[in-house]
Structure 1
Amino acid sequence: MDLPFVVATLTRRGLLTPGRPVRVASQLGALRRWGWSLAGELRQAAARDPGRPAVIDEHGAELTYQELLDRSERVARSLRAGLGVQAGDRVGVLCRNHHGLIETVVAATLLGADAVLVNTGLSAAQLATVAEEQALRVLVHDDDFTERLLGLPAELPRIDERALADLVTAAPPGELQPPERDGRIIVLTSGTTGTPKGARRPTPNGFGPLVSIIDRIPLHARDRVMIAAPLFHTWGYAALQVSFALRATIVLHRRFDPAATLTALGTQGCDALFAVPVMLQRLLEVPIPDPRPTLKVVAVSGSALPGGLAHRFMNTFGDVLYNLYGSTEVSWASIATPPDLRQAPTTAGRPPHGTRLAILDDTGAPVPDGRVGRILVGNEMLFEGYTSGLRRETHDGLLDTGDLGRINAEGLLFVDGRADDMIVSGGENVFPSEVEDLIAQLPQVREAAVIGVPDDEYGQRLAAFLALQPGETLDPEAVREYVRHYLARFSVPRDVVFVKYLPRNATGKVLARELRRYYG
């Protein structure tokens, strides 16, 4: 990434403002010694702004950047002395959004160990598989997951919340030195189709990844940021990295509650909110406080924006919505700004500075604008492979996302869905997401999901699952007629099923396998 662009972006976002010389020197020294890992980012923030609030929980309790660093170092020393954790080991972290998760992940990276961020929505059987496949050396977990861990090997050390507090208070003295290897962050894929895979995240090697994001999403130094997206998810963890780099004050709630979130955004004076799309829908379903939160940025990622949601949200909260399309494997591919979403509410936007994006056919040749093809991405933060040793297909330095999409004449990217979600019905290719977005615009519909199910005559057919707004009713044939009016006949769902709610994982993605159980 070219230096003038980096300097200009950092200046615009307030990161190159003058400071006390001794603190600036200490800040740069921390990055030089510890690099751009989460531990390095926390050290630079504590060096520059030691007394600034780093984390505020749902009860209003604060930790400054210096306090957060001190606690993380104590956890690291206790893990090393008491459990023998060292460089190359893997520390499992099964926690909701609170400072204990952050302290544990930073502690692991301080030791050169890999932190495995475990999805809080995994079943007991999935947790046992993850513990075995990731060869966990120790597991740090919240108390409310204790019963789910009964199937884990007895020899696997487990640290609950009280034990984690003991690691802080009873830490042995000593000084930590930069480890012989960088500790990696291992993020688990969503697991919507089975056991999640571990994806090794690279450590940034400079300002490039930060600049790519904050050039398009206008976050500033010392903002107050609420991270509602789960920290174990790629998007929530990215928000944590960005917040540390900006020396922001981070507001965390263990569980997402829309009313409590809106209250905290106002009382804590938050400038920005990181969320997943389904959270925006929930925020619109509760009374908006008066005065309403004065947010400058609402950044979402993790799944597609349902049809009409972008406009409804911006009509309520202003043109502050930014939608990042990416994945655990490619980090980011494109970002949609408020003007992009006003123009096309389902767009994934455009690739940010330093990112390459291509739409290719099955032979690896580029497809014309408007034609659907495979989405491939290249940037500084492509993952390093799965912990199993498997890798994703690449082409000319670009990684296959596994998604299908198209770019229109204005250069906006649209994601049509996963390649394995496309169905063939009666010889016609159908993308369920297109039908899903259309049905979601019906005023009676709270949320919708469309999937392919087996069909004896056509091979596959579409089934639509609808959760309605309270007190609303809808006739299945009216839904089919509505789709028939706008789309081709093969896009009309043969089945229309009404449900109380759609099954989702902890990051808000619909669990299609749960819906297919309706068909045995």
Structure 2
Amino acid sequence: MNDVSYSLKVFKQIGLLKPVAPHRLLGAGLQLAKWGPGLPSGVNAAAKRFPKQTAIIDDAGEITWSELAGQVNQLTQALKERGVEPGDSIAVLSRNHRYMIVAIVAVMQAGGRVLMLNTMASRSQLGELARREDASLVIVDQEFLEVAQDVDRSLVVLGWADDDAPDDLPSVASLMAGQPTSAHAKPSRHGQIIIFTSGTTGLPKGARREEPKDLKPLIAFFGAIPYRGNSTVVIAAPLFHSWGLINFAFGLSTAPTYVLRRKFSPQQVLQDVERYRAEVLVVVPLMMQRMIDLDPAVVEKADVSSLRITASSGSALAGDLANRYMDLFTDSVYNFYGATETGWVTIASPTDLREAPGTAGRPPFRTTVKILDPDGREVPQGETGVIHVGNDMPFGGYTDGNTKSFAEGLMHSGDVGYFDEDGRLFVSGRDDDMIVSGGENVFPRELEDALIDHPDITDVVVTGVPDQTFGQVLAAYVVVRDGASLSEDDVKQYAKTHVARFAVPGRLMFLDELPRNPTGKVMKRELPDFE
């Protein structure tokens, strides 16, 4: 199938070729021509095509596409009146809800830079990032006011505000009140979103995400993850992270109904999928694990038969997690492997995950992935090397002026892996995670995948630590399932039957829980040291 035929097939699938009243289609087309691909055109085009359709269901209720676009215009006007100009940076520290959406789209309509901050940011991190990025406004949910104490109070605006919100602070809702809902002119500078890396080992770095120049990225994404037009999408993954945001942003072209909740609850997710007959659920792997761990009676009672897609990313799928999830719910897991900087690398379908558990999948449309050795030469199929990628989602570099390294025109992913004989990619781990233990190259991922499948282990992370005899050994931090009992010897004996001898943990520590961020990544700097 050539590129044109493939594109038309995807456009039909996501509803872009669905018959719509001519004046509505013209209105949507004018929005795309005005703003170019991106959030402002997506929201405004959806409002033109399906003005009365519910756009967002959240903890505040429901709002239509027409109402949402009107509120975005109201806040855009309010921001301009507060002196926001094209190029200004606006920090957003928010959970998933309508006011977050209104805020980021309005900032972009004003030509500003949206700084998407992690909800686990500390007081010092927020203060430092606001200063480093020269934020002229900080929009925070009321629950994060304590974290924003080092920010000039005159710069603070509340995103989600409760009934007891401080009287001296404006909110997104109060700023919108009384403002006109009329459209705004295109700013002199294109709006931009800065996604911050996870910061699992230090202060997060700001990564510029360039807006797509055309619709090719949509074709690649939806060609691999088969969204359909006007479906209901539950986004449980945090929107401040690139995975939640890309599903919201790209999803706009399908004019869906989004279900957003401020706090993740596995039981609430099942209720939302059942109540709204959701076709798509966007999660990080840890959320899938929490859904699996629900009371079997709760799972059995829930009707999630409408679920066609469980789109997962943000951290590695440990062990046989995807298949255990699909055995319990529906055969719907699409695993997206990529990063803030790279965009996508590969996407695994339910069939891929059934046939080759642990695979990261295959490169989608117009994506090139090569496995290179340290000298930049491509290695033979089956051999391990550094993963490099090129696609239509350009990385704009870090806000400190640095960027990623490239070889053969492809971006260095920071991961190592290999392709199997069927063209599926397998990721062994981070290139800087590899240790040399007794002369053997060892990656923590192999041991993690083995231990997480132990029936009495509910969570695990493995790192490398120094060792006088072997140079380095693997150290496992293990969380035991409630009611179960495991000894260090039990775990090591299990490991000996599932991994090579040099991958058996040389150190082991039991913890009540692992320090994870909202996307499920372990904050390794917060792990206790071995004495």
Bin the TM-score by the shorter chain: over 0.9
Tell me how far apart the structure 2 counterparts of residues 159 and 114 of structure 1 sit (CA, whole Å): 18
In the TM superposition, what is the alpha-carbon distance from 1:341 to its structure 2 partner?
Answer: 0.2
Residue 125 of structure 2 corresponds to which residue in structure 1? 126
Aligned pair partner of 1:477 in 483, 486, 489: 489
Asked if structure 2 preserves the Cα contact closer than 8 Å seen for 1:94 and 1:117, the reply is yes
Amino acid at match of 1:69: A
In the TM superposition, what is the alpha-carbon distance from 1:506 to its structure 2 partner?
Answer: 1.4
Tell me how far apart the structure 2 counterparts of residues 193 and 359 of structure 1 sit (CA, whole Å): 26
Residue 5 of structure 2 corresponds to which residue in structure 1? 4
Aligned pair partner of 1:421 in 426, 433, 449: 433
Aligned pair partner of 2:412 in 384, 393, 400: 400
Aligned pair partner of 1:353 in 338, 351, 365: 365
Structure 1 portions without partners, runs of 5+:
none
CA separation of 1:174 and 1:252: change in aligned 2, threshold 3 A: closer
Amino acid at match of 2:133: Q
Q: Give the alignment of 1:6-405 within 5 angstroms.
A: 6-58=7-59, 61-81=61-81, 83-153=82-152, 156-162=155-161, 163-171=171-179, 175-286=183-294, 287-294=298-305, 295-405=307-417
Asked if structure 1 preserves the Cα contact closer than 8 Å seen for 2:346 and 2:360, the reply is yes
Tell me how far apart the structure 2 counterparts of residues 519 and 150 of structure 1 sit (CA, whole Å): 35
In the TM superposition, what is the alpha-carbon distance from 1:424 to its structure 2 partner?
Answer: 1.6
In the TM superposition, what is the alpha-carbon distance from 1:485 to its structure 2 partner?
Answer: 2.3
Q: Please give the secondary structure, in 1, of the residue aligned with 2:446.
A: helix
Amino acid at match of 1:186: I
CA separation of 1:265 and 1:188: change in aligned 2, threshold 3 A: same
Amino acid at match of 2:225: I
Q: Deviations over 1:113-150 (max 9, x none)?
A: 11111000111111112111211110001000001111
Q: Please give the secondary structure, in 1, of the residue aligned with 2:502.
A: helix
Amino acid at match of 1:518: D
In the TM superposition, what is the alpha-carbon distance from 1:157 to its structure 2 partner?
Answer: 4.1
Asked if structure 2 preserves the Cα contact closer than 8 Å seen for 1:243 and 1:250, the reply is no
Residue 165 of structure 2 corresponds to which residue in structure 1? none
Q: Please give the secondary structure, in 2, of the residue aligned with 1:508.
A: coil
CA separation of 1:157 and 1:319: change in aligned 2, threshold 3 A: closer
Aligned pair partner of 2:467 in 455, 464, 472: 455
In the TM superposition, what is the alpha-carbon distance from 1:483 to its structure 2 partner?
Answer: 1.8
**RMSD, aligned CA:** 1.5
Asked if structure 2 preserves the Cα contact closer than 8 Å seen for 1:263 and 1:289, the reply is no
User: Mean Cα displacement is larger for which, 416-425 or 168-177?
Assistant: 168-177
Percent same amino acid at aligned positions?
40
- The normalised TM-score by structure 1 is 0.97
Q: Please give the secondary structure, in 2, of the residue aligned with 1:4.
A: helix
Aligned pair partner of 1:490 in 477, 491, 502: 502
Tell me how far apart the structure 1 counterparts of residues 282 and 523 of structure 2 sit (CA, whole Å): 22
Tell me how far apart the structure 2 counterparts of residues 173 and 309 of structure 1 sit (CA, whole Å): 46
Tell me how far apart the structure 1 counterparts of residues 418 and 302 of structure 2 sit (CA, whole Å): 41
Amino acid at match of 1:103: V
Tell me how far apart the structure 1 counterparts of residues 117 and 190 of structure 2 sit (CA, whole Å): 20
Asked if structure 2 preserves the Cα contact closer than 8 Å seen for 1:301 and 1:323, the reply is yes
Amino acid at match of 1:513: R
In the TM superposition, what is the alpha-carbon distance from 1:350 to its structure 2 partner?
Answer: 0.2
Asked if structure 1 preserves the Cα contact closer than 8 Å seen for 2:270 and 2:302, the reply is no
In the TM superposition, what is the alpha-carbon distance from 1:519 to its structure 2 partner?
Answer: 2.9
Q: Deviations over 1:52-80 (max 9, x none)?
A: 10000135x11100100110111111011
Q: Please give the secondary structure, in 2, of the residue aligned with 1:218.
A: coil
Tell me how far apart the structure 2 counterparts of residues 430 and 7 of structure 1 sit (CA, whole Å): 45
Amino acid at match of 2:94: C
Q: Please give the secondary structure, in 2, of the residue aligned with 1:149.
A: coil
Tell me how far apart the structure 1 counterparts of residues 423 and 271 of structure 2 sit (CA, whole Å): 38
Amino acid at match of 1:373: G
Q: Deviations over 1:160-209 (max 9, x none)?
A: 54521111104368751011121011100000010000001011122211
Tell me how far apart the structure 2 counterparts of residues 202 and 356 of structure 1 sit (CA, whole Å): 19
- The normalised TM-score by structure 2 is 0.95
Tell me how far apart the structure 2 counterparts of residues 126 and 186 of structure 1 sit (CA, whole Å): 16
Amino acid at match of 2:384: V
Tell me how far apart the structure 1 counterparts of residues 365 and 74 of structure 2 sit (CA, whole Å): 39
Tell me how far apart the structure 2 counterparts of residues 426 and 393 of structure 1 sit (CA, whole Å): 31
CA separation of 1:174 and 1:442: change in aligned 2, threshold 3 A: closer
Residue 166 of structure 2 corresponds to which residue in structure 1? none
Tell me how far apart the structure 2 counterparts of residues 263 and 155 of structure 1 sit (CA, whole Å): 40
Asked if structure 2 preserves the Cα contact closer than 8 Å seen for 1:137 and 1:157, the reply is no
Amino acid at match of 1:132: R
CA separation of 1:159 and 1:291: change in aligned 2, threshold 3 A: closer
Residue 511 of structure 2 corresponds to which residue in structure 1? 499
Asked if structure 2 preserves the Cα contact closer than 8 Å seen for 1:98 and 1:252, the reply is yes
